Amino acid sequence: MLAERFCGAAAQAGAQIETFALRDMQFQGYTTPQAATPYGPDDDLAPALAAIKTADLLVMSTPIYFCNMTGLLKQAFDRFFCFFKPDYVTNPEPSVLGRDKVLVLLQAQGEGPERYGDLLDHYGPALDKLGFARRDVIRACGVRAPGDLTAQPGILQSADTMARQLVADLEGKRNEP
């Protein structure tokens, strides 16, 4: 619900949106670079990874299960390893994504804000190497059912505001001389 709200506001601001629901996909985690495609196995996740490579903004949405993102999102996130160059350990530009990607994490959790924190902090070192220069999070706390989110208009407004602002920022960047 939060992802739909965010993407709807981004689309209204002029963004082109492409969505992928991991729950509807068949895919496996990271495999060796000798895989079938540049993005790993030739499975349902490969087109999503190809889209991420060309996107300016990536929005990932997850409930918190057992103190972390869902297993499906973690399995997909592990496949981001395909974006590293072969010499990523020593290369000053380790990722094929460049340095201008924007990542937004929409994090919903049943517990209050004192629990779990911002997952982007935990994954920060990998996100730095991948080239996600800007990272933002919206945490919806106390959410156990869809109605719980609609009862938090501030979270929904934050999603609208952030989506519009990011689209404007990215458009402004594109129009710079």
For the chain, list the domains and their CATH numbers.
Answer: 2-174 (3.40.50.360)
71-80 tens-digit pLDDT: 999 999 999 9
96-112 tens-digit pLDDT: 999 889 999 999 999 99
State percent of the chain over pLDDT 70. 97
CA dist 65 and 152 (Å) reads 21
**What is the CB neighbour count within 10 angstroms for residue 153?**
9
- C-alpha 11: how far from chain center: 17
CA dist 177 and 165 (Å) reads 20
Does pLDDT of 31 surpass 90? no
52-67 tens-digit pLDDT: 999 999 999 999 988 8
- C-alpha 56: how far from chain center: 11
Report the predicted TM-score, pTM, of the whole model to 2 decimal places.
0.91
Give residue 119's pLDDT: 85
CA dist 125 and 23 (Å) reads 27
- Determine the length of the chain: 177
For the chain, the maximum distance between any two Cα atoms, rounded to a whole number of angstroms, is 48
